[in-house]
Amino acid sequence: MLHRSFACSPLGRLPCAALFETALWSTAPSTAAGLRSLSCGPAGCPESSSLPSPPPPPPPPLVEPWRDAAEPIERAATPPSSWYTSPAVLQLEDRTVFRHSWLAVARSSQLAAPGAYAAGSLLGLQWLACRDERGQLRAFHNVCRHHAAILAPPGTGSTDCFRCGYHGWTYGLDGRLQRATRLAGIQGFRAAEHGLRALQAEEWGGFVWVRQGPAGSAGRDQQPRHAQAEGAQQQVGQRQQEEEEEQQQQHSGRSGVAAWLGPRGSAAALAAGMADPLVHVASREYELRCNWKVFVDNYLDGGYHVSVAHPELAAGLDLPSYRSTIYERLSIQSCQPAGAQQEGQAGQVPAVPAAGERPAGGEQRRLGGGRPPAYIFVYPNLMINRYGPWLDVNTVIPLAADRCKVLFDYYLDASLASDQPFIAHSLAASDRVQQEDTGLCESVQRGLASPSYDVGRYAPGVEGPMFHFHQLLDVDLMAGAAAGAAPA
Ligand code: FES
Ligand SMILES: [Fe+2]
């Protein structure tokens, strides 16, 4: 705007348009004051009325702050709807939430044998995990070092090397570049420097985990803003202690994943049976027209929606028994089955619940198994449902600000793995509930995009796990925003 002020030239009376051009291309600094001093009065250029231009507005924040991050749940409003609708927030999540978290990408059983591999993607991350010839777990960015083609197709398989389908560069299971043809004449090239870029990889709790960012990167040194509130010093001290314990465990060679999850949460998740060696019986994939966090929120409402939205399912639950326990980076929900009179009824086929929900009907006898059902949410995008002979895993993959994909993997006790009618009926029941949840989540997304909606409120007695999820997000998003979300 400054250059468009109607100032006159010191060299005479160039037309204003000429000055505009001169100033625009000048490399000399030109200040508002300088141009003001050269302005003509009314007798000169009739248009001379330049005023100091206001300073440019600061760039908009990368993410709209959560106004009530420091409030207790009883007083807090939810994060702003822009967290669920803005592509810029999703980009920030890619660079903070997902780049610095341990992500479960496969069950350990899928990568048990040398040569087994799994590949997939999550936003900007293209990942490849495998078991090398010596039995060592490896993980890499699934990107060819030549011209960036995706190396292994998504899915699982077995191989003794990874050969790029574009120009044939070939990498070993240890990631080293083994073969690259037609490079005669190339200079300054060392094959040893062109192996696949490594990811951190670890096996823990029955899963294979990968992590992009190095330990100690963004987010870990940040305190949740609620911890800055009066009376929250205990939480600050606890978080610091947790981080110190994580560092100590990593330095001592113990699980980095367990340390990152936190000692209490990781122990509770193991006790709930997340690592039990069950048999994979089915996979399903759902695409939802909602932000990935809408699906997570739906999982974490403490059973609030079940009686309203899943009446059939609710009939099989003792909803007053619903309990949630919040740990460092995970939470566990549980709900006992409905009345004992249903137990032991013959001829009823168990149904499999969807995320966070207990099965309805007469399945208590077969699904109870003496172990309380556990619906484990692992920040940021993993849900592990362990009940009776079942373990099902839901992984939410963001696709766009208003779209996500949910991968369902079903595991079953080996003694039931060939009971096809039981499995088919159970999967159909799970699908019904999932369809109901899809409708809810997509409805919420449309509402979040409405100009009428900004923030909502929590039901304090049940939505604690969701509040905890938002607090963890807030830590990562604010840390990323403060750092300018520079790529690591
Ligand atoms: S992009 Fe992989 S060999 Fe060329
Ligand atoms: Fe639901």
Does 164 sit in the ligand 1 pocket, CB within 6 Å?
A: yes
The closest ligand to the CA of 177 turns out to be: 1
Answer left, alpha or beta for residue 266, where phi above 0 means left and psi between -120 and 50 means alpha.
alpha
pLDDT at 311: 85
CA 25 to chain centre: 46
Does 88 sit in the ligand 1 pocket, CB within 6 Å?
A: no
CA pair distance 56, 75, nearest whole angstrom: 36
* Residue 22 host element (H or E): helix 16-25
Q: What is the dihedral of CA 302, 295, 484, 246, to 10 degrees?
A: 50
Q: Which atom of ligand 1 is nearest to the CA of 180?
A: 3
In this predicted model, what pLDDT tens digit does every residue of 378-415 receive, in sequence order? Answer: 999 999 999 888 999 999 999 999 999 999 999 999 99
**16 has pLDDT over 50:** no
pLDDT at 369: 52
User: Which DSSP string corresponds to 427-484?
Assistant: HHHHHHHHHHHHHHHHHHHHHHTSTT-S--B--TTT-HHHHHHHHHHHHHHHHHHHTT
- pLDDT tier, 49 (very low <50, low <70, confident <90, very high otherwise): low
Greatest mean pLDDT among 307-316, 338-347, 357-366, 472-481 lies in 472-481
The predicted model gives 132-140 an average pLDDT of: 98
Cα 355 to middle of ligand 2, angstroms: 7
Token digits of residue 111:
């990568």
**217 has pLDDT over 60:** no
pLDDT at 222: 38
- pLDDT tier, 152 (very low <50, low <70, confident <90, very high otherwise): very high
pLDDT at 313: 80
In this predicted model, what pLDDT tens digit does every residue of 186-199 receive, in sequence order? Answer: 999 999 999 999 99
10 Å CB burial of residue 11 (0-12, 13-18, 19+) is exposed
pLDDT at 367: 45
Does 169 sit in the ligand 1 pocket, CB within 6 Å?
A: yes
**Beta pairing class for 207-211 and 103-107:** antiparallel
* Residue 299 host element (H or E): helix 292-299
Token digits of residue 22:
């001169």
Quick check: helix, strand or coil at residue 271? helix
Q: Please tell me the least confidently modeled range out of 165-169, 273-277, 315-319, 477-481.
A: 315-319
Q: Which atom of ligand 1 is nearest to the CA of 167?
A: 3
Quick check: helix, strand or coil at residue 24? helix
Q: What is the dihedral of CA 410, 416, 420, 426, to 10 degrees?
A: -50
pLDDT at 245: 54
The closest ligand to the CA of 165 turns out to be: 1
- What residues contact 317, with CB distance under 8 A and at least 6 apart? 303, 306, 335, 336, 337, 338, 357, 358, 360
Percent of the chain with pLDDT over 90: 64
Does 146 sit in the ligand 1 pocket, CB within 6 Å?
A: yes
- Position with higher pLDDT, 14 vs 363: 363
Q: Which atom of ligand 1 is nearest to the CA of 147?
A: 1
Domains of the chain, each with CATH number or no CATH: 1-58 (no CATH), 82-93+266-481 (3.90.380.10), 101-181+192-212 (2.102.10.10)
**5 has pLDDT over 70:** no
Query: What value does the CA radius of gyration of the chain take, rounded to a whole number of Å?
Result: 28
**484 has pLDDT over 70:** yes
CA pair distance 104, 108, nearest whole angstrom: 10
pLDDT at 332: 98
Percent of the chain with pLDDT over 70: 74
- pLDDT tier, 318 (very low <50, low <70, confident <90, very high otherwise): confident
**333 has pLDDT over 60:** yes
Cα 118 to middle of ligand 1, angstroms: 20
pLDDT at 257: 97
In this predicted model, what pLDDT tens digit does every residue of 439-454 receive, in sequence order? Answer: 999 999 999 999 999 9
DSSP strand E in 108-223: where?
A: 116-122, 125-131, 137-141, 155-158, 162-163, 170-171, 177-179, 200-204, 207-211
Task: Give this prediction's pTM.
Answer: 0.79
